[in-house]
Amino acid sequence: MGKPSRLNQSVASDFLLLGLSEQPGEQSLLFGIFLGMYLVTMVGNLLIILVISSDAHLHTPMYFFLANLSLTDACFTSASVPKMLANIYTQRQTISYSGCLTQLYFLLMFGGLDNCLLAVMAYDRYVAICQPLHYSTAMSPQFCALMLCMCWVLTNCPALMHTLLLTHVAFCAHTAIPHFYCDPSALLKLACSDTHINELMIISMGLVFLAVPLMLIVISYVCISWAVLDIPSPGGRWKAFSTCGSHLTVVLLFYGSLMGVYLLPPSTHSTERESRAAVLYMIVIPMLNPFIYSLRNRDMKEALGKLFGARKAVFLL
């Protein structure tokens, strides 16, 4: 029995993204829903960046990292949704080999950056609540910029390494990916060559991008909880912990969706379940983040009011 045929990546080699549904009658509905969600995501996150950059009162470490989180969310969603929308609109399911690896790189990088920023934001809340007298020196602009640079480096290097390792993998003739994006695990299942190094890289990236940031977030909130419980008045406890409410909501949504799939027994895994989880943490949560941070935050609501009030005044002149 001969070996399965291979597609040489140096020659033409396309992958098929099967998407969320193969039913022709559902394509128009999916296109409308995800186009609307994508537009809301982009407008919401870019508006957060605009509000923070235009209001001097929001030029603090917490909002500095929030602006970067909004930028990351917009880029994370843009790495997959436009291609999915284009495939639905043109009724084609193909993505080129280079396009697939490029998409994978940006998904890994911005997905990892999302995790790192959530951990850094948890540390910021820890310093603000547990060491308030040292906050201005501990979270200086230089240190915040250094942490942001470290996040970019720590996410870019593993994402680039994993993508480069995939260029040495030979793929079989059957190249259908049962997702709306180039999922690394699904890609490796299509390989005809040895993928042990690639699989080890996925595990390592899971530890770096998921386990370590989550551990830092949990440690930060344990310390925050102890500090808040030491505050004598209920009002003081509520005021201190309310500054963490938006961040904690996003953390629970983001990691909850990931754990709902990847920590379940392998026997319960299914393509449909994984696709739904991917939609949740790649599209829905980045769309909800601007609402969570603006509706639950008095400073953001006041800044939004000033921004729209100023725009209204300009139009009336």
Domain residue limits, the chain: 14-307
Give me the mean pLDDT over the 56-77 stretch. 93
Position 163 confidence tier, pLDDT thresholds 50, 70, 90: very high
User: Lowest-confidence range among 35-39, 61-65, 207-211, 270-274?
Assistant: 270-274
Beta bridge partners of 94: 16
Region 85-101 average pLDDT: 90
pLDDT attached to residue 316: 38
pLDDT at 261: 59
- Condensed to tens digits (0 to 9), the pLDDT of residues 245-270 reads 888 888 988 888 777 656 555 555 56
Overall average pLDDT of the 54-79 stretch = 93
pLDDT band at 11 (very low <50, low <70, confident <90, very high): very low
Class of domain 14-307: mainly alpha
Written as one letter, the residue type at 95 is I
**Percentage of the chain lying above the pLDDT 70 cut:** 89
Q: How many CA atoms lie within 13 A of 9 on its CB side?
A: 18
Phi-psi region of 277 (alpha: psi -120 to 50; beta: other; left: phi over 0): alpha
Tell me, what's the pLDDT at 193? 82
- State the alpha helices, DSSP H only, in the chain: 27-54, 61-78, 81-90, 97-130, 135-138, 141-166, 184-189, 196-206, 212-229, 234-242, 245-262, 271-279, 285-295, 298-316
Mean pLDDT of the chain: 84
CB 61 within 8 A of CB 139: yes
Mean pLDDT of 226-235: 82
Task: Pick the more confident residue, 304 or 103.
Answer: 103
pLDDT digits (tens, 9 = 90+) for 187-200: 888 888 888 888 88
Cβ–Cβ < 8 Å for 90, 38? no
Q: What average pLDDT does range 6-19 have in this prediction?
A: 64
Please tell me the predicted confidence (pLDDT) of residue 117. Answer: 95
**310 pLDDT exceeds 60?**
no
